[in-house]
Amino acid sequence: MGIGADRPLIVINFKNYREAQGDGALRIAKAAEDVSRRTGVLVAVAPPQVTLMQVVRSVSIPVFAQHVDDVEPSSTTGFVPPESVSASGASGSIINHSEHRLPEDTVGRLVRRMRDLGLTSLVCASTPDEAARLARFSPDYIAIEPPELIGTGRAVSRVAPEVISRGVEAVHAVSPDVTVLCGAGIASGDDVRASIELGAMGVLVSSAIVRAPDPGAKVEEFARHASGVRGR
Ligand code: G3P
Protein backbone atom coordinates (compact mmCIF):
# COMPACT_ATOMS: atom_id res chain seq x y z
CA MET A 1 0.00 0.00 0.00
CA GLY A 2 1.55 3.34 -1.03
CA ILE A 3 1.27 6.41 1.14
CA GLY A 4 -0.73 8.36 -1.44
CA ALA A 5 -0.21 7.08 -4.93
CA ASP A 6 -2.83 9.33 -6.49
CA ARG A 7 -1.21 12.72 -5.98
CA PRO A 8 2.23 14.26 -6.42
CA LEU A 9 4.78 13.28 -3.83
CA ILE A 10 8.10 14.81 -2.83
CA VAL A 11 10.42 12.42 -0.99
CA ILE A 12 13.43 14.05 0.65
CA ASN A 13 16.37 11.70 1.24
CA PHE A 14 18.59 13.36 3.85
CA LYS A 15 21.43 10.88 3.12
CA ASN A 16 24.21 11.43 5.69
CA TYR A 17 24.81 15.07 4.88
CA ARG A 18 26.23 17.02 7.82
CA GLU A 19 23.23 19.35 7.73
CA ALA A 20 21.00 16.36 8.56
CA GLN A 21 22.87 14.95 11.55
CA GLY A 22 21.21 14.90 14.97
CA ASP A 23 18.92 17.89 15.49
CA GLY A 24 19.51 18.88 11.88
CA ALA A 25 17.30 15.97 10.81
CA LEU A 26 14.52 17.23 13.05
CA ARG A 27 14.80 20.77 11.73
CA ILE A 28 14.54 19.71 8.08
CA ALA A 29 11.74 17.23 8.80
CA LYS A 30 9.72 19.88 10.64
CA ALA A 31 10.22 22.37 7.80
CA ALA A 32 8.96 19.71 5.36
CA GLU A 33 5.96 18.99 7.57
CA ASP A 34 5.11 22.68 7.75
CA VAL A 35 5.20 23.04 3.95
CA SER A 36 3.12 19.91 3.50
CA ARG A 37 0.48 21.23 5.88
CA ARG A 38 0.33 24.67 4.26
CA THR A 39 0.37 23.54 0.61
CA GLY A 40 -1.47 20.21 0.87
CA VAL A 41 1.33 18.55 -1.12
CA LEU A 42 2.45 15.16 0.15
CA VAL A 43 6.04 15.38 1.43
CA ALA A 44 7.90 12.44 2.96
CA VAL A 45 11.35 12.39 4.56
CA ALA A 46 14.10 9.79 4.85
CA PRO A 47 16.40 10.96 7.68
CA PRO A 48 19.66 9.25 8.73
CA GLN A 49 18.90 5.79 10.15
CA VAL A 50 20.00 6.64 13.69
CA THR A 51 17.48 9.51 13.90
CA LEU A 52 14.57 7.51 12.49
CA MET A 53 12.43 6.95 15.58
CA GLN A 54 12.90 10.45 16.92
CA VAL A 55 11.89 11.99 13.59
CA VAL A 56 8.86 9.67 13.43
CA ARG A 57 7.78 10.92 16.84
CA SER A 58 8.32 14.57 15.96
CA VAL A 59 6.40 14.96 12.70
CA SER A 60 3.13 13.75 11.23
CA ILE A 61 4.31 13.36 7.60
CA PRO A 62 5.48 9.94 6.33
CA VAL A 63 8.99 9.01 7.42
CA PHE A 64 11.09 6.43 5.57
CA ALA A 65 14.25 4.56 6.42
CA GLN A 66 17.05 5.04 3.88
CA HIS A 67 17.84 1.33 3.59
CA VAL A 68 16.79 -2.06 4.90
CA ASP A 69 18.70 -5.32 5.03
CA ASP A 70 17.35 -8.78 4.33
CA VAL A 71 18.30 -10.06 7.78
CA GLU A 72 16.29 -11.22 10.72
CA PRO A 73 15.61 -9.27 13.92
CA SER A 74 18.20 -11.39 15.66
CA SER A 75 21.98 -11.50 16.04
CA THR A 76 22.57 -9.20 13.07
CA THR A 77 24.70 -6.39 14.48
CA GLY A 78 24.46 -3.07 12.68
CA PHE A 79 22.01 -4.26 10.03
CA VAL A 80 18.47 -2.89 9.71
CA PRO A 81 15.81 -5.58 9.30
CA PRO A 82 12.38 -4.40 8.08
CA GLU A 83 11.02 -5.27 11.54
CA SER A 84 13.21 -2.48 13.03
CA VAL A 85 11.66 0.02 10.61
CA SER A 86 8.20 -1.18 11.54
CA ALA A 87 8.91 -0.98 15.28
CA SER A 88 10.21 2.59 14.88
CA GLY A 89 6.82 3.65 13.54
CA ALA A 90 8.21 4.64 10.14
CA SER A 91 6.01 4.32 7.05
CA GLY A 92 8.47 2.41 4.91
CA SER A 93 11.92 2.41 3.41
CA ILE A 94 14.01 3.25 0.40
CA ILE A 95 15.48 0.03 -1.02
CA ASN A 96 18.40 -0.31 -3.47
CA HIS A 97 19.45 3.34 -3.55
CA SER A 98 22.35 3.70 -5.96
CA GLU A 99 24.58 4.53 -2.98
CA HIS A 100 23.51 1.30 -1.26
CA ARG A 101 22.77 -1.27 -3.95
CA LEU A 102 21.40 -4.76 -3.36
CA PRO A 103 21.15 -7.87 -5.57
CA GLU A 104 17.83 -7.99 -7.44
CA ASP A 105 16.58 -11.13 -5.68
CA THR A 106 17.26 -9.45 -2.34
CA VAL A 107 15.19 -6.46 -3.44
CA GLY A 108 12.34 -8.84 -4.27
CA ARG A 109 12.51 -10.52 -0.87
CA LEU A 110 12.61 -7.16 0.93
CA VAL A 111 9.59 -5.83 -0.97
CA ARG A 112 7.68 -8.94 0.11
CA ARG A 113 8.76 -8.64 3.74
CA MET A 114 7.88 -4.94 3.79
CA ARG A 115 4.44 -5.66 2.34
CA ASP A 116 3.82 -8.35 4.98
CA LEU A 117 4.65 -5.78 7.68
CA GLY A 118 2.36 -3.15 6.14
CA LEU A 119 5.35 -0.97 5.17
CA THR A 120 5.70 1.08 1.99
CA SER A 121 8.55 0.13 -0.34
CA LEU A 122 10.33 2.72 -2.47
CA VAL A 123 12.73 0.88 -4.76
CA CYS A 124 15.40 2.79 -6.69
CA ALA A 125 16.53 1.93 -10.21
CA SER A 126 19.31 3.46 -12.30
CA THR A 127 17.78 2.91 -15.74
CA PRO A 128 14.38 2.25 -17.34
CA ASP A 129 15.47 -1.36 -18.00
CA GLU A 130 16.37 -1.96 -14.36
CA ALA A 131 13.12 -0.27 -13.33
CA ALA A 132 11.15 -2.68 -15.53
CA ARG A 133 12.96 -5.69 -14.01
CA LEU A 134 12.29 -4.48 -10.46
CA ALA A 135 8.65 -3.69 -11.29
CA ARG A 136 7.94 -7.43 -11.34
CA PHE A 137 8.22 -7.35 -7.54
CA SER A 138 5.37 -4.78 -7.43
CA PRO A 139 6.84 -2.35 -4.92
CA ASP A 140 4.68 0.64 -4.03
CA TYR A 141 7.10 3.08 -5.67
CA ILE A 142 9.98 2.90 -8.12
CA ALA A 143 12.27 5.94 -8.28
CA ILE A 144 14.39 6.16 -11.42
CA GLU A 145 17.67 7.98 -10.79
CA PRO A 146 20.55 8.03 -13.29
CA PRO A 147 23.53 7.79 -10.88
CA GLU A 148 25.75 10.09 -12.96
CA LEU A 149 23.36 13.00 -12.31
CA ILE A 150 22.95 12.49 -8.56
CA GLY A 151 24.17 15.49 -6.57
CA THR A 152 25.08 17.48 -9.69
CA GLY A 153 22.21 19.97 -9.85
CA ARG A 154 21.73 18.81 -13.47
CA ALA A 155 18.16 17.57 -13.30
CA VAL A 156 17.17 14.30 -14.91
CA SER A 157 14.00 16.06 -16.10
CA ARG A 158 16.10 18.63 -17.98
CA VAL A 159 19.12 16.71 -19.26
CA ALA A 160 17.63 13.21 -19.68
CA PRO A 161 13.83 13.60 -19.96
CA GLU A 162 13.55 10.41 -22.01
CA VAL A 163 14.76 8.39 -19.00
CA ILE A 164 11.59 9.46 -17.16
CA SER A 165 9.09 8.95 -19.98
CA ARG A 166 10.64 5.60 -21.01
CA GLY A 167 10.90 4.55 -17.38
CA VAL A 168 7.24 5.27 -16.64
CA GLU A 169 6.19 3.31 -19.74
CA ALA A 170 8.51 0.40 -18.99
CA VAL A 171 7.36 0.08 -15.37
CA HIS A 172 3.68 0.34 -16.20
CA ALA A 173 4.00 -2.25 -18.97
CA VAL A 174 5.09 -4.74 -16.28
CA SER A 175 3.13 -3.54 -13.27
CA PRO A 176 0.58 -0.75 -13.84
CA ASP A 177 -0.03 -0.21 -10.13
CA VAL A 178 3.53 0.84 -9.31
CA THR A 179 3.87 4.59 -8.79
CA VAL A 180 6.92 6.03 -10.54
CA LEU A 181 9.07 8.81 -9.14
CA CYS A 182 12.25 10.24 -10.57
CA GLY A 183 15.31 11.84 -9.10
CA ALA A 184 18.91 12.97 -9.58
CA GLY A 185 19.96 16.58 -9.83
CA ILE A 186 16.49 17.99 -9.15
CA ALA A 187 17.29 21.57 -8.17
CA SER A 188 14.30 23.81 -8.81
CA GLY A 189 10.54 23.96 -8.85
CA ASP A 190 10.65 23.91 -12.63
CA ASP A 191 12.57 20.61 -12.51
CA VAL A 192 9.81 19.17 -10.32
CA ARG A 193 7.04 20.37 -12.63
CA ALA A 194 8.88 18.97 -15.69
CA SER A 195 9.29 15.59 -13.94
CA ILE A 196 5.57 15.35 -13.32
CA GLU A 197 4.70 16.52 -16.82
CA LEU A 198 6.95 13.75 -18.16
CA GLY A 199 4.84 11.18 -16.31
CA ALA A 200 6.43 10.78 -12.90
CA MET A 201 4.17 11.12 -9.86
CA GLY A 202 6.81 13.10 -8.02
CA VAL A 203 10.47 13.30 -7.11
CA LEU A 204 13.10 11.76 -4.87
CA VAL A 205 15.45 14.60 -3.98
CA SER A 206 18.33 15.27 -1.65
CA SER A 207 21.07 17.91 -1.94
CA ALA A 208 18.98 20.80 -3.29
CA ILE A 209 16.87 20.71 -0.14
CA VAL A 210 19.10 19.22 2.55
CA ARG A 211 22.06 21.47 1.71
CA ALA A 212 20.01 24.60 1.03
CA PRO A 213 20.58 27.60 3.31
CA ASP A 214 16.81 27.56 3.94
CA PRO A 215 15.51 24.00 3.37
CA GLY A 216 11.92 25.04 4.16
CA ALA A 217 11.90 27.68 1.41
CA LYS A 218 13.26 25.14 -1.06
CA VAL A 219 10.65 22.51 -0.12
CA GLU A 220 8.01 25.19 -0.55
CA GLU A 221 9.29 26.06 -4.04
CA PHE A 222 9.15 22.37 -4.98
CA ALA A 223 5.69 21.90 -3.50
CA ARG A 224 4.20 24.96 -5.21
CA HIS A 225 5.41 23.66 -8.58
CA ALA A 226 4.18 20.12 -7.87
CA SER A 227 0.66 21.09 -6.94
CA GLY A 228 -1.76 21.35 -9.78
CA VAL A 229 0.34 19.20 -12.14
CA ARG A 230 -0.92 15.69 -12.65
CA GLY A 231 1.39 12.72 -12.97
CA ARG A 232 0.45 9.29 -14.25
O1 G3P B 1 17.90 9.86 -3.18
C2 G3P B 1 17.91 11.06 -3.90
C3 G3P B 1 19.15 11.28 -4.62
O4 G3P B 1 19.96 10.22 -4.92
C5 G3P B 1 19.20 12.40 -5.54
O6 G3P B 1 20.14 13.23 -4.98
O7 G3P B 1 21.22 15.33 -4.50
O8 G3P B 1 20.73 14.70 -6.86
O9 G3P B 1 18.85 15.33 -5.32
P10 G3P B 1 20.23 14.74 -5.45
**Span 106-159, pLDDT tens digits:** 999 999 999 999 999 999 999 999 999 999 999 999 999 999 999 999 999 999
Looking at residues 164-173, what average pLDDT do you find? Answer: 98
pLDDT confidence of residue 227: 85
CA atoms of 138 and 56, how far apart (whole Å) = 26
Q: Give the mean pLDDT of the chain.
A: 96
CA atoms of 125 and 129, how far apart (whole Å) = 9
Residue 3 annotated in ligand binding: no
According to the CATH classification, is domain 9-226 in 3.30.70.20? no
Q: Which residues pair with 179 in a beta bridge?
A: 141
Ligand 1 atom with least separation from CA of 204: 2
pLDDT confidence of residue 231: 47
The Å distance, Cα 150 to ligand 1 centre, comes to 5
Q: Is a pLDDT exceeding 60 seen at residue 230?
A: no
Is 97 labeled as catalytic in the residue annotation? yes
Looking at residues 49-66, what average pLDDT do you find? Answer: 98
Percent of the chain at pLDDT exceeding 70? 96
pLDDT confidence of residue 36: 96
pLDDT confidence of residue 205: 98
Q: Is a pLDDT exceeding 70 seen at residue 229?
A: no
CA atoms of 93 and 63, how far apart (whole Å) = 8
pLDDT confidence of residue 152: 97
pLDDT confidence of residue 5: 65
The letter for the amino acid at 129 is D
Percent of the chain at pLDDT exceeding 90? 94
pLDDT confidence of residue 6: 77
pLDDT confidence of residue 137: 98
Question: Which of the residues 97, 130, 220, 221 is marked catalytic?
Answer: 97
pLDDT in tens, 178-204: 999 999 999 999 999 999 999 999 999
Residue 64 annotated in ligand binding: no
CA atoms of 21 and 47, how far apart (whole Å) = 9
Residue 30 annotated in ligand binding: no
The Å distance, Cα 151 to ligand 1 centre, comes to 6
Local confidence band at 232 (pLDDT 50, 70, 90 cut-offs): very low
Question: Which of the residues 33, 67, 130, 145 is marked catalytic?
Answer: 145
Nearest to 179 by CA among 204, 147, 154: 204
Least confident residue range of 2-6, 30-34, 118-122, 217-221: 2-6
pLDDT confidence of residue 7: 87
CA atoms of 119 and 42, how far apart (whole Å) = 17
Element at 45 (helix H, strand E): strand 42-46
Looking at residues 15-43, what average pLDDT do you find? Answer: 97
Ligand 1 neighbours (beta carbon < 6 A): 13, 97, 145, 150-151, 183-186, 204-208
Looking at residues 50-69, what average pLDDT do you find? Answer: 98
